[in-house]
Structure 1
């Protein structure tokens, strides 16, 4: 059985390939996915369909080249922490953005059960404002 660390690493690898099916292969049907208050997709989204519609589709439509660059992955057993940077250009304003971010993953039974994002939402907001 793959470790939580490997499951999260595989998610990020799939993200780098733009492979949405691979990204959600190990995500629980009732995952609780929380984007930080002040972020464009703020809130807790339940289930992969909501996460795809309310997070990834929104980011893809509003931002060009939106990506997370992983700097390091911290193995805490069932809790895995991804640390890195977001990079993107806002489609409407043309402004670029780079913001530090931390993702906290909870994995149990081989599935991602919870995800929580922490980022500098002010930097994201500045890029989206004229």
Structure 2
């Protein structure tokens, strides 16, 4: 399976709530760089390890955001580097405000697994009342 197909399947699994399937496509020691402005992020947003990402990011999304979903516009396939361009949608619980925020994900793949994730997202659109 090509890297792009692996990532597309991962996003589909995320949308369907199949987090175990998502985690299985990540290297155990994945390096995750989340935007520091995201509500659930502590410190500089850098996390190492898929279980740490699950606990510190994915499991916390429902604490801060209702109806979170990702609207994918396109993928840019660079082989071992793939970029997802899209939007985050949901309602920020602290303000009750719905948002539609631009987001990109840059993935680095190695041996069919995601080894690095870098997020760029318009956090101001999410958290401002």
Is TM > 0.5 for Structure 1 vs Structure 2? yes
* Match in the other structure for 1:49: 51
* Match in the other structure for 2:9: 10
Q: What SS class does the counterpart of residue 74 from structure 1 fall into? A: strand
Pick from 57, 60, 76 the counterpart of residue 58 of structure 1.
60
Per-residue CA distance 1:20-55 (angstroms, 9 max, x = gap): 011111100000011012222251111111111111
**Structure 2: gaps (5+ residues):** none
For residues 92 and 45 of structure 1, what CA distance do their matches in structure 2 show?
A: 24
Pick from 112, 117, 120 the counterpart of residue 115 of structure 1.
117
Taking the TM superposition and a 5 Å limit, the aligned residue runs for 1:24-39 are 24-39=23-38
The alignment's TM-score, normalised by the length of structure 2, stands at: 0.92
Q: Does 1:91 align with 2:90?
A: no
Q: What SS class does the counterpart of residue 57 from structure 2 fall into? A: helix
**Structure 1: gaps (5+ residues):** none
Taking the TM superposition and a 5 Å limit, the aligned residue runs for 1:69-88 are 69-88=71-90
Moved over 6 A (4+): none
Measured after TM superposition, the shift of residue 91 of structure 1 is 2.2
The alignment's TM-score, normalised by the length of structure 1, stands at: 0.91
Q: What SS class does the counterpart of residue 93 from structure 1 fall into? A: coil
Per-residue CA distance 1:52-110 (angstroms, 9 max, x = gap): 11111111111101111111111110001101000011223211111000000000011
Q: Does 1:106 align with 2:90?
A: no
